[in-house]
Each structure stands twice: as structure tokens, then as C-alpha cells.
Structure 1
Amino acid sequence: MNKASFEKVIPPEGSSFKAFYFKAPFMPYGGRWHFHPEFEIVYLPSGKGRRFIGTKISQFTDGDLVLLGPNIPHNCFNVGFESDNYEEYVIQFNGEDIKEASKFFKEFNGIGELLTKAQAGLSVNNKEKHIIGEEIKQMINLPPLEKLLKLFKVLRQFAEVSYESLHARQYLSLSVVNTGRVKEIYDIIQNNYQTNISTRQVAEKTGMTESSFCRFFVKSTGKTFKQAVTEVRIQNACNLLVNSDASIGTIAFDCGFNSLSLFNRLFKRNIDDTPNSYRQKYINHVQVSFPKIA
């Protein structure tokens, strides 16, 4: 798994979002390392295992309920599942419209705040996750309007219970005004992070001068282009460390770092851990360090 694949979410006809259910052995997505611009709710009614979200590995017991913000790379939840009888309920929706509605309807205020906090991922770890889970189960076969109303109820319940941050990170934080252009740049990073990609090359591809490109990118994302490329490389290195047997040196070069020492230094700076220690903590089922990627 060299790259996080982009998942295009296509709601069914007559609906503005997607809600679906599947159960082993019928697993349509396997174990893909992927991302998408939609928010995602995942509910597992039972079982224990590990989550692989961003640069963080964490554990869950007695099922799971999480809310992920946009563009957080993650593995499918059957990866790391340690119990029998895997089943999963998933809701994928555009939260920006709901956050915008909270500006006009006071009833949505709590939901808007919830979605803002979900940018780093949230999990419910007490028995209330199964109360919300029952609402999610009922949603699957409802007509579109009733399904939408049920989504609002699920989000309201989520906002009212105790939850914890997963401390995950998006690949890039997008300005609403410049989302389209930044996504174009992001696609270029995704396809070229293993090479020595430069600001000059990307500026040419996007029809900007190098200086205007650098100003635009910092203004739109809050980070330099170099920082963004490093973030994507580190994210993919974390994925390879826990999902492959490749040597650390091989992973470093496969992810675009031209020296092992540079990789080790940047990995330590961003993840607050060494690559070898990060891998060993996964092997020993211990939660890894929180990332410091901004």
C-alpha cells in the first residue's frame, strides 16, 4: 500500500449522502488505505481491535463508534479487527452544508461545533455508542428524507455524549474559497510525493508563477508546500511501517526521502517517535504517540 487512494463517494439517487452496511465475508473495500473529503461515521456493533487513522494507532473494545473529519487518511476498520463476526455501518456526508446551516438555525449549533471538533476524529468509548448505534442501524433502509432526519438525530446524540479526540490530521486543511485549486495541488502531491517534487514544477502545472504559488499555498493551507509534502510522505511511511515488512531504509526512499538520516529526523519531529519504535509499538499492540503535524 504505497499511497492513500482517493475514494469518490457517490450517494444513491435522491439522497445527499451515503449510508450502507456490510458484514464479513462480503467486504467490498478490503483493507484500503484511503481518504475522502466527506465526513464519515463508522459503527461496529461488537468486537475489539485497532484503528489505523492518520499517523495514529489506537485500540477499541466492545465495538466502536467514530466520527472522522474530511481528508483524514485511514484504513478500513476490518484491518486490525481481532474478533469474529465482523460487521460495519458507515455514513458518509458533506458536513460543510450542515455547518453552514448552524449559522442560521440555532438548533444546529451543537452539531456545527461537533463537526468542527471532528476535524481530528472523535470516538465514543462508553455504552452510549450502542444507543447511537441503534439509530444508525435503523437508518440503512429508510427512504431518503427519513434517512436525512435520522442523520440529524444521530449527530445531535453524538454532540450530547462524552467523546474523545483521535488526534488525527487531514492531509491538507482547505480554504473554502480555494478548495478546488488546492485539491488540484493535493492531487499532484499524491501522485508525485515519491519523487523530488518542487514548487516550480507544481506552479507550472497550475498556471502560476513560483512566487505567487508559494503565497497562495501558505494562505490557503496555513503551511508551506514543503511542509505539506513532508506530511504526506510521513503519513504514507506510517502506513508502510505497520502494513508491510519492508525495511525502514526502503520505506524512507519509497516515500521520497533521499536519506535515511533525514527521514529519521523528520519522522521524530512530526510523530515524536522513531520509525523503529513506532513499528514495534504496533507489533506490541501499544498505542503510538500523538502526531505533531499541523
Structure 2
Amino acid sequence: QLIVMKAILEDIKSNKGTSSFHAFRYQVPYFQFKWHYHPEYELTYIVKGKGYRIVGDSYEYFTDGDLVLLGSNLPHTWSGKSNDDIDSDAVVIQFSNEFIAPFLELNESISIKNMLENAIRGISFEADVSIVSKIIDLSTTNGMDRIINLISILDNLSKKQTKSIASNTFHNVVSKKNEMRINKVCLYIQNNFYNKISLKEVAGLVYLTESNFCKFFKKATGKTYSDYLNELRINEACRLLVQSDKSINQISFECGFETLSYFNRVFLNKKGVTPSKYRNSKTI
């Protein structure tokens, strides 16, 4: 039996009220793990915050200035605790296909149309000052100015270089079945990755056999359980290599690796360089 996972469906229609689209400032002590999806497109700018951004089968470290456009029904979450007392801060803009479709019929909107089609896998941008100020202002703008400014933002973004986020092989299947399971598993992994976590342990969380759990997890994330866990650990190691003076040996154990040799092997496989070379290249 094939087990299909899904993220939580977020109801944006009720959130936006009578507005044509939803634009808001989201300020919290930290971004909590919430693996979810919605039919609307979403443009998210991280004003302040750091942690991990999961989009489809992509798992990447993010920090201040992260700017991402997500397509319809693409599961995602930003998750991370700040190292200081400053709140995490984001501007989120969510708009439906029904809202944007009339604009896409215009000849002048061809670049926006192409960009939105590419957003099915999620795309990230290098944020510049002019676009960022428009995005931040949009959360407090009213009336027709909101619509004009959003189209202007999308037009500006459509002319910039982009980077795809989820892989070509990622196929999203919208289903509410097992939505709680994947959230429970991923949250547990995130909170405990620095410890030894056995396959039996995580499978038991969602009452699956180890064999069925492996199928479930691969379908959910596009990765095997061990690869997902190692990727999370290596991303955390990258952060510590750049942001701390801890020894490589100490970092490897803090990130959940039982031996330094295994850590070095996985790091080289994931990043293409040794931990020491990675640290030197990022701190020059």
C-alpha cells in the first residue's frame, strides 16, 4: 500500500477578508515548524530571522533578506530560533490565481506569467533595496495602491535572475491524509537531530513499520530518512563553522555525528569541500 503524506492546508480566503489579496507583517519570537500548503501564490521576505527553509524536497539554511516566491499548493515552512532576543520578522503576500489571472492576459505581463509558472517549484531572488521597501510598504498600504504596488513588485521581480528551489523530480500531491504525521516527524527530527535518532524511533512516532515509514518519508520529502537527517545536520554544521569558533570535532558531535570521520565524509559528499575548507572560504 502506497502511503501519501501531505502538509496542512492553510485557509487564506478567510484570512484576507474582503481584500483582493492577503499582505501582512509576521513578527514572532521565532518561526515555528509548520509544514503547510495553500492554493494561493506566496511571496515571502524575511526581514529578520534565521533557520531552515523547507520547500518541497529542498532543505536550505536561511537568514535576513531571504526572498522567495512559491507556486500553488507547494508545501513549505520557515523554521528557526533566533540566537538573540530580537523577534523574527517577515512580510508575507498571498494572492490567488483568480486575482492575478486578468493581469496575465495582458501582453505586458508575459514575464510575470513565465515567472509564476516557474514558481511551481519555488524560486528565490537576490533582494535589492527598492523591491524590499515596496514589499514592506505593501503590508500597510490600502485601496487601489495595494494592487498597483503588488503588480509593480511582481513586474520588477520577473526581470531579475532567479534560482529554483525544489527539484525537477518533486511532484506535489495535494491530500490531507497523513498531514499530522509528517509535521510530527519533521518537528521531532528538528528538535532532536543532535541526538542519535533511530529509524525505529521515528517510525514509532506515527505508528508505522520501519519499511512503511521509509516509503512514507521518501514520498513526503523526496529524500530518504537518513539523507534528510544528514542534510539537516550538515546545514547546522555549516552555520556553526561560519558563526562560531568551535572546533570541527566539537561541531561534528554537536550536530549528531558519532564519529569525526563519518562527519567529514558526509560533509564532503554534501558540500564538495572539507569542513575546514568550507570555514576558510566563508570567513575570508
* TM-score for both structures, normalised by structure 1: 0.61
For 1:140 and 1:103, locate their aligned partners in 2 and report how far apart those are by CA, in whole Å: 18
The answer on whether the counterparts of 2:121 and 2:166 sit within 8 Å (CA) in structure 1 is: no
CA distance, structure 2, for counterparts of residue 155 and residue 223 of structure 1: 32
Distance 1:151 1:164, change over 3 A: same
Quote the residue 1:223 is aligned against: 223
Match of 1:263 in 2: 263
Give the 5 Å matches for 1:141-156: 141-143=140-142, 147=146, 150-156=149-155
Does the C-alpha gap of structure 1 residues 206 and 149 become closer, same or farther in structure 2, counting only changes over 3 Å?
Answer: farther
CA–CA separation in structure 2 for the residues paired with 1:75 and 1:134: 25
Q: Residue 137 of structure 1: CA displacement?
A: 4.9
Deviations 1:205-230 (A, max 9, x none): 11222211111111222211111111
Matched, 1:157 2:160: no
Output the CA distance in 2 between the equivalents of 1:248 and 1:226: 21
| Structure richer in strand, relative to its length | 2
TM-score in terms of structure 2 length:
0.63
Give the alignment of 1:73-112 within 5 angstroms.
90-93=90-93, 98=96, 107=104, 109-112=113-116
Q: 2 CA distance for matches of 1:150 and 1:103?
A: 13
Compared with structure 1, are the counterparts of its residues 153 and 181 closer, same or farther at alpha carbon in structure 2 (3 Å cutoff)? farther
Q: Take 2:166 and 2:276, find their aligned partners in 1: how far apart are those partners?
A: 20
Over 3 Å counting, the alpha-carbon distance change for 1:187 and 1:158 in structure 2 is same
Aligned partners of 2:24 and 2:93 also within 8 Å: yes
Matching residue's letter, 1:115: A
Give 5+ residue unaligned stretches, structure 2: 1-11, 36-41, 54-59, 71-75, 83-88, 105-111
Match of 2:5 in 1: none
Q: Distance in 1 between matches of 2:193 and 2:34?
A: 18
Q: Distance in 1 between matches of 2:164 and 2:115?
A: 18
Q: Which amino acid aligns with 2:156?
A: Q
Provide the residue aligned with 2:24 in structure 1.
18
Structure 1 residues 173-212: aligned runs within 5 Å: 176-177=174-175, 179-212=179-212
Q: Aligned to 1:229, what secondary structure does the other structure show?
A: helix
Cα pair 2:203 2:209 within 8 Å, conserved: yes
Q: Structure 1 residues 150 and 208, CA, compared in 2 at 3 Å: closer, same or farther?
A: farther
Structure 2 residue aligned with 1:123: 126
Q: How many residues align?
A: 234
Which amino acid in the other structure matches residue 138 of structure 2?
M
Decide whether aligned partners of structure 1 residues 168 and 109 sit closer, same or farther in structure 2, where only a CA change above 3 A counts: closer
Q: Which residue of 2 aligns with 1:289?
A: none
Structure 1 contact 111–156 (Cα < 8 Å) conserved: no
Cα distance change on mapping 1:250 and 1:277 into 2, 3 Å: same
Any residues of structure 2 matched to 1:227-246 within 5 Å, and which?
Answer: 227-246=227-246
Matches within 5 A, 1:244-283: 244-283=244-283
Superposition RMSD in Å:
4.4
Q: Deviations over 1:128-155 (max 9, x none)?
A: x455345335424213886466435423
1:201-257 Cα distance to aligned partner (Å, 9 max, x none) = 111111222211111111222211111111111111111111111111011011110
Query: Aligned to 1:40, which of 21, 41, 44?
Result: 44
Q: Is the CA contact (8 Å cut-off) linking 1:43 and 1:90 kept in structure 2?
A: yes
Amino acid of the structure 2 residue aligned with 1:157: N
Write the distance in 2 (CA, Å) between the matches of 1:228 and 1:173.
17
CA distance in 1, matches of 2:115, 2:142: 23
> In the alignment, which residue of structure 2 is the partner of 1:80?
none
Q: Is the 8 A contact 1:175 1:220 kept in 2?
A: no
What's the CA shift for 1:271?
0.7
Higher relative contact order (CA 8 A, sep 6+): 2
5+ long unaligned stretches in structure 1: 1-9, 21-27, 45-51, 58-63, 77-88, 285-294
